[in-house]
Amino acid sequence: MSSSKKSRIVKFKTSDDKTFEVEEAVAVQFETIKSMIDYVCANDCTIPLPNVNAKTLAMVVEWCKKHADERDQLMEVDVDEAPGAVLYDLLVAATYLRVEDLIHRVSQRVSKMVIEIGKLPEEEDVRKTINIKSDFPPQVEEELRKLRRTLGPLSDVLVLFVSSGLLE
Amino acid sequence: MTKRKASESLLSDRVQKARKTGSDGLSDLSDELLLRILGNVSIHSLTCCQQVNRRLHDVAGDAQLWKAAYYERFVRPRASRLPGVLSQPLTPFYLSYSSKLSKWLSDSHLVNGDTDWKGQYRLRHNWSRGTCSISEIPVADGPSVAPVLARLRNGIVYTVDRRHGLRAFSCAEKYRLLTSEAIAAHTNNTQPTVLTVEHSVATGSVQRLAVGFEAGSFAIFCYCRSKVRFTRVYSHAASLDGDLTEMVLAWPYLSTISQAQTLSLYRFSSSEPGEGEEQMSAPVLLARMESHTVWPPLSLALRLIAGNVVLSVAYSKPTMSFGWLAAMQELTFSEEGEIKDSRIATAANEGFFQPLSTRTGPRVAGASDVTFAIPTSLSYSHPYLVCSHADNTLTQYLVTSSPSALSISPGKRLWGHASAVFSAHVSNRGRAVSVTKCGEEVRLWELEGSTLTSASDARRKRHPEMSVQVASGQNAAPFDLKKALSETPSTTRGWVGFDEEKAVVLREGEHGKQMLVVYDFT
């Protein structure tokens, strides 16, 4: 952080119409915003963020602040504490603002939570955690299961679909 | 522990919330973000996600995910072979996955173009596990005096025998017979003794084959892929040297070895235009050499390097203290057939060159105590040289051929088979396949990285299995003792070969019925 320069402030407007004031040192970590900071500060504009709400933006800003200097040490904590629902919002926000480290961190967290439940998850477990139903025809599903059992975990389901005419 | 608990409670929280709202957060995410998420999970989870629903099926099957997984599992462990990697500081970034060609080692040919990365991953996975589907192609109904000769190249199995002539079977189309060509009408001596298929570099649509016959005659055939037919382009008259036992074709050069241990090197006029299906004029005999000390089995290899022809003859020779050791003669010819260089090397087994050793005390049990039996087969694909033995083992050598020296590393025993090994073949990527004479034991070996350093020996001790036995991926029928006893076990009659996806073995079953057994790893 360059404290010698006078720290400028970048203003954001979130999806729920709240205005945020963020220090430049934090805002430069948003790859999307980076190039327009000079213009925005000079003209005193507010940057609208239509798909980021105030709560999430606060988290992103918090995360960037912590990581401005000591990137490595804090990696392990922070996002782990975030509740599940917030993670998705955080992921969308981080992607929109392009905060590469945060995307990485959150996506890792989500995959641990949703997909890698236990050592060897089965498809039913995944369906349960993300609450979706199979949209395969029952025959295909049966075939899939059989194939995976007989040929190890790497059966080629795609070929089967096409050849059996069950999926176009 | 506490963390785990916390996340579980969060999880159920999330599930309950999702049930209330009737939607799940994951489905709202874009494909791009789903890819990021799936990029962190294991292969098991990835295949499991493919079964969840259609969308996840498509996203989890994304080539880039599998490409990264392929790199992690099959390329990166060999990263020490990257040029300059040892001089570089070993930062994790340097070895991290990238599309940069130079980081893909011998798999760089996969990186360009449309590669089915999942397919590649599955292929390597099945290969490393020995999982495959097995199919049989009947090639001869009754017993024949000599077995059918067969070779596999670029997805086509070529066979030749006296009765059926030359045939081609397509691996892609369920081993359908593509075409056949009689060989009887053209030559008087019709018993084929050797078949070789050129290692073509996919140039043009023509695959060249050479068939050697009794009494030293041979013929060159072309297989045209687009017209699906064989054309005989050249026939060579019989010679006094006897049956041809080994041949190698590297266009426009052909080298043969006969029963009388005469080696001949021919050059065809290479200015054949276009399709290459025209009749050819007689080749020039560049060199003819005789040997009195080289016995089969031997292996011929022909390389064209900077206008020179390098012919390597790998054979085995008896030694006093070690039994049969692999040896090699490398001959360099100019285009006119003048011998420029001739080098000989024998496997450098420890103590071989030093009858008086400075080592005192009891001898260490290991390589120096081993005597090697006479090989049943020998396969050379630079830099690997593999011999199979009747005593259930294989011997692996590493050949170093530089402008200044030719040397062969000490032989190394490979254990694993439970009966006499009939034949073993090796590819230049260090993959070897071996078959036993009786029964149907086929083993796959990964020789790469198993060089003779002490570090790898230590690793070997921890992971003693260097090979896997091939097993059918399908649910095998329950073992039936009565049936097994009444059946005559099939015997291996010949070796065909293997490529990236398949291994083919020639077997003889009941009543001399011969068939090709194809092990398909895709």
Averaged pLDDT for residues B480-503: 62
Q: What's residue B482's pLDDT?
A: 57
Residue labelled with tokens 């089915």: B116
The kind and range of the H/E element at B126 are: helix B117-129
Choice among A154-158, B60-64, B193-197, B281-285 with the minimum mean pLDDT? A154-158
Distance, in Å, from the CA atom of B248 to the CA atom of B264, rounded to the nearest integer, reads 11
> Which CATH number characterizes residue A42's domain?
3.30.710.10
How far away is chain A from the Cα of B260, in angstroms, using its nearest Cα? 49
Cβ(B54)–Cβ(A135) under 8 Å?
Answer: yes
Q: Is the pLDDT of residue A162 over 50?
A: no
Cβ(B243)–Cβ(B227) under 8 Å?
Answer: no
Choice among A152-161, B42-51, B81-90, B282-291 with the minimum mean pLDDT? A152-161
Q: Is the pLDDT of residue B340 over 60?
A: yes
Within 8 A of B57 by CB-CB distance, chain A residues are: 157
Residues 6+ apart with CB under 8 A from B402: none
Does residue A128 sit in helix, strand or coil?
helix
Q: What's residue B363's pLDDT?
A: 44
Same domain, A146 and A106: no
Distance, in Å, from the CA atom of B102 to the CA atom of B89, rounded to the nearest integer, reads 17
- Closest chain B residue by Cα to residue A109: B37
B166 pairs with which residues across the strands?
B160, B181
Averaged pLDDT for residues B131-135: 74
Position B444 confidence tier, pLDDT thresholds 50, 70, 90:
confident
Of A116, A64, A55, residue with least CA distance to A87: A55
Nearest to A95 among B13, B33, B473 (CB): B33
Averaged pLDDT for residues B390-409: 84
Position B103 confidence tier, pLDDT thresholds 50, 70, 90:
low
- Output A46 or B15, whichever has higher pLDDT: A46
Same domain, A16 and A70: yes
Is A30 domain-assigned? Answer: yes
Same domain, A15 and A98: yes
| Burial letters B398-433, b for 16+ CB under 10 A, else e | bbebeeeebbbbbbbebebbeebbbbbbbbeebbbb
Using alpha carbons only, what angle is made at residue A161 by residues B22 and A118, rounded to the nearest 5 degrees?
Answer: 50
CA distance to B111, B153, B518, per residue, from B124 (Å):
15, 19, 17
Same domain, A16 and A74: yes
Same domain, A110 and A38: yes
Torsion of CA A147, A153, A156, A158, to 10 degrees: 90
Position B150 confidence tier, pLDDT thresholds 50, 70, 90:
confident
Same domain, A69 and A141: no
Is A4 domain-assigned? Answer: no
The kind and range of the H/E element at B501 are: none
Q: Is the pLDDT of residue B496 over 80?
A: no
Is A38 domain-assigned? Answer: yes
Q: Which of A72, A88, A115 is the last residue of a domain?
A: A115
The one-letter code for the residue type at B399 is V
Helix ranges (DSSP H) in B379-508: 454-462, 481-486
Choice among A46-50, B11-15, B230-234, B307-311 with the minimum mean pLDDT? B11-15
> Percent of chain B beyond pLDDT 90?
0
Of B181, B172, B128, B137, residue with least CA distance to B154: B172
How far away is chain B from the Cα of A34, in angstroms, using its nearest Cα? 22
Is A3 domain-assigned? Answer: no
B212 pairs with which residues across the strands?
B194, B218
Question: Count of domains in chain A?
Answer: 2
Is A67 domain-assigned? Answer: yes
Reading the block at residue A71, the tokens are 């990137």
Which ipTM did the prediction report?
Answer: 0.77
Q: What's residue A56's pLDDT?
A: 85
Position A81 confidence tier, pLDDT thresholds 50, 70, 90:
low
Within 8 A of B26 by CB-CB distance, chain A residues are: 88, 110, 114, 130, 132
Average pLDDT, chain A: 73
CB contact under 8 A, B33 and A141: no
Q: Is the pLDDT of residue B358 over 60?
A: no
Full residue range of the structural domain in which residue A45 is found = 9-115
In A, residues 75-134, which contact B (CB 8 Å cutoff)? 80, 83-85, 87-88, 91-92, 95, 103-104, 107-108, 110-117, 120-123, 126-134
Position B272 confidence tier, pLDDT thresholds 50, 70, 90:
low
Same domain, A37 and A94: yes
Torsion of CA B356, B362, B365, B369, to 10 degrees: 40
- Closest chain A residue by Cα to residue B38: A111
Same domain, A32 and A98: yes
The one-letter code for the residue type at B234 is Y
Q: What's residue B96's pLDDT?
A: 54
Q: Are strands B165-170 and B156-161 parallel, antiparallel or unpaired?
A: antiparallel
Torsion of CA B114, B119, B125, B127, to 10 degrees: -90
Long-range contact set of residues A35-40: C-beta below 8 Å, sequence gap at least 24? A37/A8, A37/A10, A40/A10, A40/A11
Residue B91 CB neighbour total at 10 angstroms: 8
> Percent of chain B beyond pLDDT 70?
67
Distance, in Å, from the CA atom of B285 to the CA atom of B337, rounded to the nearest integer, reads 8
How far away is chain B from the Cα of A16, in angstroms, using its nearest Cα? 19
Is A128 domain-assigned? Answer: no
Long-range contact set of residues A81-86: C-beta below 8 Å, sequence gap at least 24? A82/A109, A83/B10, A83/B13, A83/B14, A84/A113, A84/B10, A84/B11, A84/B13, A84/B14, A84/B17, A84/B25, A85/B13, A85/B14, A85/B17, A85/B25, A86/A55, A86/A56, A86/A59
- Closest chain B residue by Cα to residue A151: B473
Using alpha carbons only, what angle is made at residue A146 by residues A141 and A152, rounded to the nearest 5 degrees?
Answer: 120
Choice among A64-73, B33-42, B252-261, B425-434 with the minimum mean pLDDT? A64-73
Distance, in Å, from the CA atom of A157 to the CA atom of B124, rounded to the nearest integer, reads 17
Reading the block at residue B280, the tokens are 């050819």
Within 8 A of A120 by CB-CB distance, chain B residues are: 44
Q: What's residue A83's pLDDT?
A: 58
Cβ(B24)–Cβ(A106) under 8 Å?
Answer: no
The kind and range of the H/E element at B63 are: helix B63-70
Residue labelled with tokens 């065809």: B268
Of A16, A22, A3, residue with least CA distance to A62: A22
Same domain, A154 and A78: no
Is A83 domain-assigned? Answer: yes
- Output B11 or B87, whichever has higher pLDDT: B87
Averaged pLDDT for residues B475-500: 58
Residue labelled with tokens 């590393």: B409
Q: In the sheet that B206-213 helps form, which strands lie side by side, from edge to edge?
A: B192-197, B206-213, B218-224, B229-236
Same domain, A52 and A14: yes
Q: Is the pLDDT of residue B242 over 70?
A: yes
- Output B137 or B258, whichever has higher pLDDT: B258
Is A104 domain-assigned? Answer: yes
CA distance to A5, B51, B248, B301, B312, per residue, from B341 (Å):
74, 61, 20, 16, 12
Does residue B175 sit in helix, strand or coil?
coil
> What domains sit in chain B, N to C, each tagged with a CATH number?
29-126 (1.20.1280)
Nearest to A111 among B40, B121, B122 (CB): B40
Residue labelled with tokens 């804090």: A74
Same domain, A153 and A110: no
Q: Is the pLDDT of residue B89 over 60?
A: no
Rounded to two decimals, the pTM is 0.69
Averaged pLDDT for residues B469-488: 53
Same domain, A33 and A93: yes
Q: What's residue A115's pLDDT?
A: 73
Alpha carbon distance, N-terminus to C-terminus of chain B = 42
Q: Is the pLDDT of residue A166 over 60?
A: no
Averaged pLDDT for residues B411-435: 80
| Burial letters B358-376, b for 16+ CB under 10 A, else e | eeeeeeeeeebebebbebb
Distance, in Å, from the CA atom of A145 to the CA atom of B321, rounded to the nearest integer, reads 57
Distance, in Å, from the CA atom of A113 to the CA atom of B389, rounded to the nearest integer, reads 53
